[in-house]
Structure 1
Amino acid sequence: MYKQQVIKRIFLSCLLGLLYPFSLLAQQAVDVTAKADTNSIRIGEQIKLQLTATLTPAQFKDANFKVLFPVLPDSLDHFEVVTRTTLDTLVNQDQHVLHQTFTLTSFDSGHWEIPPMRFEVISGANSTADSAVTLPIGIDVNTVAVDTTKAFKPIKAVQAVPWNIWDYWLYIAIGITIALVGIGIWWYLRSKPKKEPVIKTPTVSPYEIACQELKILKEEKLWQQGDIKQYYTRLTDILRTYFEHQFSIAALEQTSEELLQNIKPVTILNQQRDKLRSLLSIADLAKFAKLQPTADEHEDCMRKTEEILEWTKPKANVVNNPGATATGEKQQA
């Protein structure tokens, strides 16, 4: 009885010793596949090639167990890789499936094979390397059938693409933005308070400056040389500048009629209104209507200018206060 038990134990030990390598091999085996979604395409069409590796839960949880997918170049024999996805994992019941999808195309007609795909399997603490290979996949790449018995068809005319406002949304947005910016600038400039012109009071009285400029104008003898327009332009500018500095009237910016209206509040100046009107009238005709006044009229305009200056010149005690002159004349009136 004892001998029989010993014989059984020896037999079982030998049997387990024989089966152990096969159990290790079964644990390390990985099921790898390469599948195409079709085996026949036309030139330029695409194929979805899916590579998968199926792992058991023990293999998946083993930190020393790794499966390396084949690295496909951008171009294979008669095939080109269009796109490739990243490696992903799916859990199917008790199995873990690693998969990656490649999009291939071909521009060579004929029967071609996608070559076998080699997966590297690394296992064990010593990083033992092994490999698993898939089967090749046959693909028929067909040309487009052409019926040579039929007549050639004419080339189709160019078809217009329907207009769509969303095709121009960027240009519309830019246009609206520019319009809003323009309106904003216009509104800002419109609402911005205008700065009042600063009238600088000369250290020399306006009357003295006007007299000096009239003297220079006489010496230049412009109208005697035929420069009538320049003569009357200088003459009226001297008078207008005098009004602006002496009576604070924006005479240089006003027309002749506006100037005649704005001198009414200044009594002493308004008393010379008729002379000023006559002078400005002849000057405007000479400057803008090319009127040729006579020599007497030239002299008369100069004389009227001097009379206006003499009549409105400030008194000695108010030279430095031009506003007092106008106020005092109003009180006298």
Structure 2
Amino acid sequence: MRRILLLLFMALAVVLPTFGQQNTVNAAIDATELLVGEQTVLHTTVNCNAGARVKFEGKKGENLTPGVEIVEISRPDTLLLNNGKRWQITRNYTLTSFDSALYRLPAIEVEIDGQKVQSRGEIALKVNTIDVDVQHPDAIRPPKGPVDGVFEWNGLLFLYCLLAWLALAACIALLLRLSAPRKHNKVIVLPAPKPAHAVAIEAIGKLQSTTPEDAVAQQLYFSQLTDILRTYLHERFGFNAMEMTTREIIEQLQKINDREALLELKNVLQTADLVKFARLSPALPEREDSLLRAVDYVRQTQLPDSDIPKTIKRLVPIEQGAENRKRLACWLGLIASVAALFALLFHLCSTLWLLLF
């Protein structure tokens, strides 16, 4: 007797867990009564062991039963139970019917690990027709014919197109700017300085307004006059006349100036040498004559107006910190322009799709 009880206990220990872990299929419907053409959802729930191969029956467009059509089938939704040891899989079937009747929906059959399991219980679905007033048939309006769609351009579309072109132009301009080699120097344009002859004539005019009263003042007067001429010669002909004697200056200019102009300059410089070194004290007419000769020489040897530059170009170094900030601003502008371009194109495409299709 004890041996029989032990065998029964062992058999129950093996069989009961098996019953506790069996596969089940349950089905429930949202609405059991609907009008022709309306839809309802049939919920199918499968409980099985984790890792089981589950295969649902039925396809979209098929009839679940004659007169009841499967409109849509959702994707399976899996829920883990018992610490992942069990699965609860839910799949929904959207049903409809166009014939009024009382339908008995068949059991939902699911294949689990090669074994077919059916849902329990029966589900009835009643489909009702729409009440029609047959006594007043004139009240029933016929179906309307197709209506021609009117396509109208939205004014904002043109604005979006313009903004898209502007964003594209900004992208191209910034790409060209960033692809250009980095500059270390830049050229600046400055107004040309006053020409040498104008400076010399202006300085001689200021000197003419002064009147030397003694020998020292006479020497200073003619020293200033020769300095004006030497500065003019240096800027006009390019040799260092400030460090040269009168004889050296004349010899240098014999290759450049004509004889008449050179004679006037020679008289002015020789008179200035006599005043500075021989203490000659010229009278007012002689001083005026020296000034006039100096002005005549400057005017005879000045550059033509066509050869006088109006502006000058100067190469200056570029601060690299400022250049880096400019390139960073260009990169940020490029990113913003590309983002704006894609946003505008997406909006344009979606709007045109809605309008055309």
Question: Which TM-score tier does this pair reach, normalised by the shorter chain?
Answer: 0.3 to 0.5
TM-score, normalisation: structure 1:
0.39
TM-score, normalisation: structure 2:
0.37
User: Highest relative contact order (Cα 8 Å, sep 6+), 1 or 2?
Assistant: 2
